[in-house]
Amino acid sequence: MHLPTLRQPPQREPIVAQRLLLSDAERTGMTDHANTAIEWLMRAGYGARGVVYLIVGGLAFFAALNGGEAEGTSGALNFLIRQPLGSILLGVTAAGLFAYTLWRLVDGVLDLENEGDDLEGYANRAGQIMSGLTHAALGISAIIILMKGAQASGGDSSAENWSATLMQHPAGRLIVIAAGITTLSVAIYLFIKSWKAAYRKDIVRKGMAPKLEPAVRFGLAAHGFVLLIVGGLILWAGISANPERAAGLGEALRILETQAFGRILLALAGAGLAGFAVYCFVMARYRIVPRLAGDTLKTLASPTS
């Protein structure tokens, strides 16, 4: 007598495994969402950066016209909170600055700009990460002002304060000197970026982007010029072991004002920093992420034919 063959039930993946096995479409969707999030971080970050430098440039320009005092980035944040709905404006700006921080950290770690794995590529990626950390510090200043009110961030003395703190340690002077050299390197980089129009490969050719190029180039050069002063002061503070010589953006603008034709120089610097704000706004609207954009988009560097 033959026993009937029992039918085996179909084998099924465990429920957890089923949830982990994503289809190609699902993976593509997740990648698209991640890419979109990265782009939004970038655009929000550049927008917030533009707001800060527009205020710094505007205050410097009007100080040159009316005999007031120029302010740095901390002064711009203090100015912002004193406006109608200032707390909301400053909160949004702080969120944007932290978005810029995240964008630069992801950018540098994942090499979204295709900088490469050679020495120059790693140096550029390290610069992107440092830029993110710098704007994180500015975002923290904005949060402190939100919590404690205007003038809570310590104004433009922060460069002097951190220089004094560092110089209390054995290697402090070397770190301050390195910070000065780094700032000077950024200034030179901005000059080169303006001169060679190196930004063009990152800006899509549409809308107002081509027409705003003169303001973009002027703004990059002006920002480089002001950072040249800041970097020189920080470097001299480290060499002379005198933290009082260190200065930030606002102090650099005030030094310009004390020179011969100081008001003209300050007005030009203010207009230039406003131009740098235009650069930030252009990047917020038209910038691409090279690794995410593909080869089909036409940038300002693409042939016009």
Domains in the chain, number: 1
Residue 179 lies in a domain: yes
Residues of the chain with pLDDT under 70: 1-32, 150-162, 294-295, 305
Give the model's pLDDT for residue 46: 96
Range of the domain at 187: 33-293
Give the model's pLDDT for residue 303: 77
**The pair of three-digit structure tokens given for residue 129, joined into one six-digit string:** 């990460």
What is residue 297's DSSP assignment? S
Give the model's pLDDT for residue 222: 93
Residue 255 lies in a domain: yes
Give the model's pLDDT for residue 20: 45
| CA distance linking residue 108 with residue 291, whole number of Å | 12
Our CA dihedral for 86, 91, 96, 102, rounded to 10 degrees, sits at 160
Residue 146 lies in a domain: yes
| CA distance linking residue 63 with residue 270, whole number of Å | 9
Residue 4 lies in a domain: no
> Distance between the two ends of the chain, CA-based, in angstroms?
86
Residue 27 lies in a domain: no
Q: What is the pTM of this model?
A: 0.82
Give the model's pLDDT for residue 259: 85
Residue 28 lies in a domain: no
Residue 5 lies in a domain: no
Residue 2 lies in a domain: no
